Amino acid sequence: MEDLKERIELLFPQLVEWRRNFHKYPELSFQEARTSQQVAEFLRGLGLEVRTGIGGYGVTGLLRGKEPGPTVALRSDMDALPIQDEKTCEYRSQVPGVMHACGHDGHMAMLMGTALLLTEMKESLKGNVLFLFQHAEELLPGGAVRMVEEGVLKGVDVIYGIHLWSPMPTGVVGIREGELMAAADSFEVEITGKGGHGALPHEAVDAVAIASHAVVNLQTIISRQLDPLKSGVITVGTIEGGQAFNVIAEKCRLTGTVRSFDPGVREQLARRMEEVIQSTCQMYGADYRFNYLWGYPPVVNDSVEARRLAEVARQINDPAQVWEIMPVMAAEDFAYYLQQRKGAFCFVGAGNTDLGITAPHHHPKFDIDEKAMKTGVELFIETTLHYLQENSV
């Protein structure tokens, strides 16, 4: 283990170089042509069995150990976000309006480093490792579901993922058994009333006023109809209606997001939302159109594999730096892999107040403490070795 730490320390400058290159030249979801090409060329250089174009721009590299055994998959996402980079640093994004504001550049560097070091251990491996670089985590329908549909998990026994996480201090590992991240759905509502003069409300059906009632009524689903021991969020993010100050709007449009963990709650919220919209519009004489968009399912860790990750994290780290965290209302399409195979997902802290690295994810000044990548590489490698040792014949 100490030898591995030393090897990772020697590799660290290369991890930083890889990460900063990706950071300078980000690509949006479903547009990761350059990024996926670089990853594929690197994996080929290691002598791995490489597949490209999986579900779009997905890339995998398969490392076959000297002896047969199970196959462990390790996943990184690759896409960036439509955000203007406002940092002042030499690796600032060179692409206007696009930046790695969620740490995916660091994820790729970690998995590339993991692939390099595990390839060096090939002769001692009893089993195989699939390095899975996924496109389009940030944009529905997501890259994971498409890669799964194209058979990326064929032959895989277990899968692990790591997300660098700026809300936690560098090096801390956060994990939990069971529900870790929420399902993320969205909705659109268009309310159609009857337009009219602002001074003659009795001759109109005010879509904006009805929409206002609908927003309030939707919140009673959470506060009065959802079991208080279960979690759910309904957020109306936009209200668009009206063109002039003295005209009663004929139409008003609402959009928002819904978060939940329990499949039953997820179904309940979708059903009750339309019932509330329907009854509110009926009460005031308006028509409506309701569209519920099912997004990523919840990330639910396998208990055995979550415990494995936590155990390994305590071995390579100060045990006090391994936290059992609360579920997170953010979403991740890693969930699709966990629906098909056992596995686990965890967070590695990448925030550092001393360095001024405090911006949240998806922020124009987002950055990571690059030292966190060393923890990620070590956790990937040691967890892989732990699983192969325990499950090899």
- Residues with Cβ within 8 Å of 200's Cβ and at least 6 positions away in sequence, in order, are none
Residues 21 and 120 in one domain: yes
What is the structure's pLDDT at 243? 94
Q: How many angstroms separate the CA atoms of 344 and 189, rounded?
A: 36
| Domain end position, chosen among 256, 272, 296 | 296
339 and 282 co-located in one domain: no
Q: What's the pLDDT score for residue 192?
A: 99
Residues of the chain with pLDDT under 50: none
**How many domains does the chain divide into?**
2
Query: CA-to-CA distance for 8 and 329, rounded, in angstroms?
Result: 33
* Final residue in a domain of this structure, among 264, 296, 328: 296
Q: Which amino acid is at 279?
A: S
Binding residues: 102, 104, 138, 163, 362
Q: What are the backbone dihedrals phi and psi of residue 149, each rounded to the nearest 5 degrees, phi first? A: -60, -30
Residues annotated as catalytic (active site), given as ranges: 79, 137
Predicted pLDDT of residue 1: 59
Helix (H, G, I), strand (E, B) or coil at 311: helix
CA distances from 61 to 14, 129, 182, 371 (A): 19, 8, 29, 25
Q: pTM of this prediction? A: 0.94
Domain harbouring 276, CATH code:
3.30.70.360
On the 0-12 / 13-18 / 19+ scale of CB atoms within 10 A, 286 is buried
Task: List all residues 6 or more positions away from 197 whose beta carbon is below 8 Å from its beta carbon.
Answer: 203, 204, 246, 247, 248
38 and 126 in one domain?
yes
Q: Based on the domain organization, do 324 and 356 belong to the same domain?
A: yes
Pair (77, 50) in one structural domain? yes
At position 352, the amino acid (one-letter code) is: N
For residues 113 and 251, membership in a common domain is answered with no
| Domain ranges, residue 208 | 183-296
102-127 pLDDT, tens digit each: 999 999 999 999 999 999 999 999 99
Phi, psi of 378 (to 5 degrees): -65, -40
Length of the chain (residues): 393
93 and 216 belong to one structural domain: no
**Which pLDDT belongs to residue 242?**
96
Q: Are residues 10 and 121 in the same domain?
A: yes
Same domain flag for 302 and 291? no
Tally Cβ neighbours within 10 Å of residue 317.
Answer: 17
Measured at the CA of 239, the angle between CA 137 and CA 366, to 5 degrees, comes to: 35
Q: Tell me the binding residues for Mn(2+).
A: 102, 104, 138, 163, 362
Please indicate, yes or no, whether residues 155 and 18 belong to a single structural domain of this protein: yes
